[in-house]
Amino acid sequence: MFWRWKIRKKHRDQERREQKDAEEGWRQQIRDEKDEYDRRLKEFRSVFKCHVCGKPSARPYKTISIVWDGEYDGNRVSHESDDWTRPDDLVRCSQCQNWTCQKHLEEDLCKKCGEKL
């Protein structure tokens, strides 16, 4: 009987180790994804800046995709993702097409283009 107890204990210990390893793998994957996001955000902010004051964009534009399940009851699934090709808080000037923050934008013209008129 003692040997059965020992075998069960060995299996339980092995299962705990495997679970612990799996959890550590998930944590590492989350850390890697966060590091990748931070790296991309830093690169994004170095590209998208207000051309009047130089203030970098805080975040990329968010796109929301809504998918209907096709049934009559109207169930839907939405998915939010980052659009790294344009900033969320900067707007293009209608004349020079440069990215401008809201503070330096009047009637779709940046401060620089407004002073030229």
Q: pLDDT by residue (tens digit) across 42-74?
A: 999 999 999 999 999 999 999 888 777 666 666
Q: Domain range spanning residue 113?
A: 49-117
Q: Which residues contact 64 (CB under 8 A, 6 or more apart)?
A: 78, 79, 80
Residues 41, 83 within the same domain: no
Question: What is this structure's pTM?
Answer: 0.71
Residues 74 and 18 in one domain: no
Residues of the chain with pLDDT under 70: 1-2, 69-76
Residues 60 and 111 occupy one common structural domain: yes
- Closest by CA position to 92, among listed 43, 51, 62: 51
Domain check: are 23 and 80 in the same one?
no
Chain CA centroid to CA 36, Å: 10
Q: Tell me: do 53 and 89 sit in the same domain.
A: yes
Is 110 within 8 Å of 55 (Cβ atoms)?
Answer: no
Domains in the chain, number? 2
Using DSSP's 3-state secondary structure scheme, residue 49 falls into strand
Q: What pLDDT sits at residue 78?
A: 76
- Give the percent of the chain with pLDDT over 90: 68
Q: Say if residue 62 is in the same domain as residue 30.
A: no
> Are residues 33 and 62 located together in one domain of the fold?
no
Together in a domain, 66 and 107: yes
User: Is the same domain home to 33 and 89?
Assistant: no
Q: Are residues 110 and 65 in the same domain?
A: yes
Q: Where are the beta strands (DSSP E) in the chain?
A: 60-68, 76-87, 90-92, 99-101, 105-106, 109-110
Specify the pLDDT at position 71: 64
